[in-house]
Amino acid sequence: MKLFSVQNITYSINENKLFHNLSFEINSGEGLHIKGGNGSGKSTLLRIILGITSPSKGLIQSYDQDLKISYLGHKNAIKNYLTPIENLELLFSGDDLNVAFEWLNKFGLSHVQDELTASLSFGQQKKLALIRVLAQSSDLLILDEPFVGLDQATADQLNSFLAQKISQNAGLILTSHITPMIDCAVLDLGAKNA
Amino acid sequence: MLSFIKAESFKLSKKLKSWLGPLLVMVLVLIAFPLSIDISQYDLDKFYFSIIIVSLLMTAFVATEGMFEEDFEDGSLEQEFLKEKDFYKLVISKIFVYVCLIGIPIAFIGALFSFANGVAVDSFGKVFLLLILSNLLLFNLFAFGNALSINKGAMLGVLSSLPLALPVIILLGRAIRSIQYEDGFFAVTTLMVGIGLMVSAIMPLIISVALKTHID
Amino acid sequence: MLLLGWIWGLLFAPQDAVQGNSYRIIFLHVPSVIFAELIYFFMAVCALMHLVWRVKLAAYLIKSAAPIGAMITFIGLFSGSIWGIPTWGTWWQWDARITSTLILFIMYLGVLTLHGSFSNLEKADRLMSILVIIGVVNIPIIKKSVDWWSTLHQPASISVSGSSSIDPSMLYPLLISIIGLGFTLISLGILSSRSYILSREKNKKWVLMHV
């Protein structure tokens, strides 16, 4: 099933063109890996797909108005003055909350669940942010650099979780400098054009 | 809406510094002022209200400082935008929670001190009410200043919201005088309630637009 | 024209019966405070155009007009202060009009600071427009509210309809000063907006073609 189509997107910031006439489609049950050098516009492209940033030219067409999207940006959207448990309580309720708590176990965060998030390591905070995204039942996952800050074991784990999401017919778009071990299409934005 | 209010009050209650700080500033100013002048020489009760008004302005500013900053910095605003496409509900609940958790206690402290400084006991309720209303207005206006200057610090917030806050201060001064001279209190209060409702409805709309521009 | 107004006003107009020669600062003071507000209203109209119809040019105009407005407001305040010393015996008084002009000055500064604090200029344009519009709503509110204070400032001396309380021999140079300052500011505005537009659009084809 088609989720989104991106048609002839051009984006420029303060008159500098980041990318030009980009077109692709996103289907459910498929992954897309966006790669490219620093400053090539990977994150911006994600934000355009999400509708946070508007493109200078072109069109994003969504085929389902009620599409549930979970997004992991550069910013974690985690409150560091709350504990992981409290963070999840803020985001989820009812059965979803129990599902989210299970994810704490899966990522091995249960032993720090009552400590302030601010005192956790970068990797642990990242895991918490991933839990926020993965515990939602969503049709499309958009992840900006999900592997940054994770150790090899956790990265492998994340790969398998993402593969599982795809097999459950969710769409996936991610940006990453390392190649994810998931079967997915690749879009290369190239190095930063000077 | 209710879930917003719940979430915001939970967050604020966990940020001890954010809600206790303004209250302490208020108390500090109100105590420090009479000590800093020779009390016996002046009729303190005549102008103590001015001090209350000024400290109200200061604390309202301190209290709203960083109101949206944290949500912007940690990316919660983006997430909110994806869910709701709009910030109106978020903003209105945030202001509501701030007024309830910080504004009303501040108003109470202010009223308490005015009463301790020679205002008749039976006007305690009136002063309390007025201070709550002005806090409602001030919080809305400063929230606007904050939304504009979301990550640029206090200076910009002051520059953009101080001109808006001054009419409130003048109105409050007028209302206080109406208590002191027992004249036209009802009219001024009604005016303040009216303006308060209007501002509380419109301001979040504008703030919401400003926030959207920020995350763009 | 500004020069004509000033020379006439400063050298040839008769002395004021009460205030003596010091009143002559009126030829600077009155025109500048008039334009202090006019420029803000102009900016508000531009802001509306920018937000509603997304006219880029309108935002550029606001950005170019704001420093001029701030400058002229400052001149108005400063000249008023100087005038205040011999006539009221004080250079500052918390009266209605002075206060609202001071607030106007703060608003100009706010607009400029806000715009200066962004690296993304389109964002800056939009937020600036929002602030300008809120500000213009605020002006009459401030005026009304400060009117409640007892005011020291003299009521406006010139009215469009009916008789003015000012003698023609002083009125004409004053009017000429106002119009002259108007032209001066407009040409200043055109100059500064021209260079500003060029700097903002420097990568566009039409600019490159003409350079």
Kindly report, residue by residue over C74-92, the tens digit of the pLDDT: 988 888 888 877 777 666 6
By Cβ distance, the residue of B3, B14, B75 closest to A76 is B75
Beta-bridge partners for A32: A173, A185
Other Cβ atoms less than 10 A from the Cβ of C152: the count is 14
Task: Report the C-alpha gap between B139 and B145 in whole angstroms.
Answer: 10
**Which tokens is A33 given?**
């890996």
Task: Report the C-alpha gap between A1 and A28 in whole angstroms.
Answer: 5
Q: Nearest to residue A140, comparing CAs of A111, A171, A162, A117?
A: A171
Beta-bridge partners for A24: A6
By Cβ distance, the residue of C138, C148, C149 closest to B164 is C138
Q: pLDDT value at position B105?
A: 93
What angle (nearest 5°) sits at the alpha carbon of residue A140, between those of residues A137 and A144? 110
What angle (nearest 5°) sits at the alpha carbon of residue C83, between those of residues B162 and C153? 60
Other Cβ atoms less than 10 A from the Cβ of B50: the count is 13
**What percentage of chain A carries pLDDT values higher than 90?**
0
pLDDT tens sequence across A155-190? 888 888 888 888 888 888 988 888 877 777 788 877
| Confidence tier at C10 by pLDDT (50, 70, 90) | low
Q: What is the mean pLDDT of residues A7-15?
A: 79
| Confidence tier at B139 by pLDDT (50, 70, 90) | very high
Q: Do A54 and B216 make contact, defined as CB atoms within 8 angstroms?
A: yes
Give the nearest chain B residue to A89 (CA atoms): B7
Q: What is the mean pLDDT of residues C146-171?
A: 57
Max CA distance (Å), chain B: 61
- Residue that has been written with the tokens 């409640």 in this structure: C148
Asked if pLDDT for residue C102 goes beyond 80, the answer is yes
**CA of B142 to nearest chain A CA: how many angstroms apart?**
23
Q: Is the ipTM of this complex over 0.85?
A: no
Backbone conformation region of residue A41, classed left if phi is above 0, alpha if psi is from -120 to 50, else beta: left
Task: Report the C-alpha gap between A38 and B69 in whole angstroms.
Answer: 27
Give the nearest chain A residue to C204 (CA atoms): A15
What angle (nearest 5°) sits at the alpha carbon of residue A176, between those of residues A173 and A181? 80
Residues 6+ apart with CB under 8 A from A114: A83, A84, A85
Other Cβ atoms less than 10 A from the Cβ of C77: the count is 20
| Confidence tier at C146 by pLDDT (50, 70, 90) | low
**Which tokens is B101 given?**
């958790």
Interface residues of A toward B, Cβ cutoff 8 Å, are 50-54, 69, 71, 73-82, 86, 90, 93
Give the number of A-B residue pairs with CB atoms closer than 8 Å: 44
Question: Which residues of chain B lie closer than 8 angstroms to A52, CB-CB?
Answer: 78, 81-82, 215-216
Task: Report the C-alpha gap between A158 and B57 in whole angstroms.
Answer: 50
Is residue A55 a contact partner of residue A17, using CB atoms and an 8 Å limit?
Answer: no
Other Cβ atoms less than 10 A from the Cβ of C117: the count is 16
**Which domains are delineated in chain A?**
1-68+139-147+171-194 (3.40.50.300)
Q: pLDDT value at position B133?
A: 92
Q: Nearest to residue C60, comparing CAs of C194, C209, C205, C207?
A: C194
Q: How many helices (H) and strands (E) does chain A have?
A: 5, 8
By Cβ distance, the residue of B7, B11, B81 closest to A52 is B81
- Residue that has been written with the tokens 């979301």 in this structure: B150
Quick check: C38 contacting A, CB < 8 Å?
A: no
Beta-bridge partners for B164: none
| B138 CA to centre of own chain | 4
Domain ranges across chain C: 2-9+33-150+168-210
Question: Which residues of chain A lie closer than 8 angstroms to B82, CB-CB?
Answer: 50-52, 69, 71
The DSSP H or E segment spanning A128 is: helix A122-134
Q: pLDDT value at position B106?
A: 92
The DSSP H or E segment spanning A35 is: strand A31-35
One-letter identity of residue C78: F
Q: SS in 3 state form for B186-207?
A: HHHHHHHHHHHHHHHHHHHHHH
Q: Do A77 and B82 make contact, defined as CB atoms within 8 angstroms?
A: no
Q: Do C130 and B163 make contact, defined as CB atoms within 8 angstroms?
A: no
What angle (nearest 5°) sits at the alpha carbon of residue A62, between those of residues A58 and A66? 150
Q: Do A75 and B11 make contact, defined as CB atoms within 8 angstroms?
A: no
What angle (nearest 5°) sits at the alpha carbon of residue C123, between those of residues C121 and B80? 150
Please tell me what DSSP assigns to residue B62.
H
Please tell me what DSSP assigns to residue B123.
G
The DSSP H or E segment spanning A11 is: strand A2-13
Q: Do B14 and A74 make contact, defined as CB atoms within 8 angstroms?
A: no
**CA of B143 to nearest chain A CA: how many angstroms apart?**
20
Asked if pLDDT for residue C200 goes beyond 60, the answer is yes
Q: Do A80 and B74 make contact, defined as CB atoms within 8 angstroms?
A: yes
Is residue B95 a contact partner of residue B1, using CB atoms and an 8 Å limit?
Answer: no
| A11 CA to centre of own chain | 21
Q: What is the mean pLDDT of residues A48-77?
A: 84
pTM: 0.83
Backbone angles phi, psi at A135, to 5 degrees: -75, -15
Most confident residue range from A42-46, B204-208, C1-5, C206-210: B204-208
pLDDT tens sequence across B140-170? 999 998 888 886 766 777 778 888 888 888 8
**CA of B39 to nearest chain C CA: how many angstroms apart?**
26
Task: Report the C-alpha gap between C113 and C110 in whole angstroms.
Answer: 5
Residues 6+ apart with CB under 8 A from C146: B170, C95, C96, C97, C99, C100
Q: Do C120 and A15 make contact, defined as CB atoms within 8 angstroms?
A: no
| A153 CA to centre of own chain | 19
Task: Report the C-alpha gap between A162 and A29 in whole angstroms.
Answer: 11
H helices present in chain C, as ranges: 2-7, 26-53, 56-88, 96-116, 121-147, 168-200, 205-210
Asked if pLDDT for residue C189 goes beyond 90, the answer is no
Most confident residue range from A34-43, B40-49, B156-165, C59-68: C59-68
Is residue A176 a contact partner of residue A35, using CB atoms and an 8 Å limit?
Answer: yes
Domain ranges across chain B: 2-215
Q: Do C120 and A14 make contact, defined as CB atoms within 8 angstroms?
A: yes
Interface probe for C, chosen from B146, B151, B161, B164 (most Cβ of C below 10 Å), is: B164
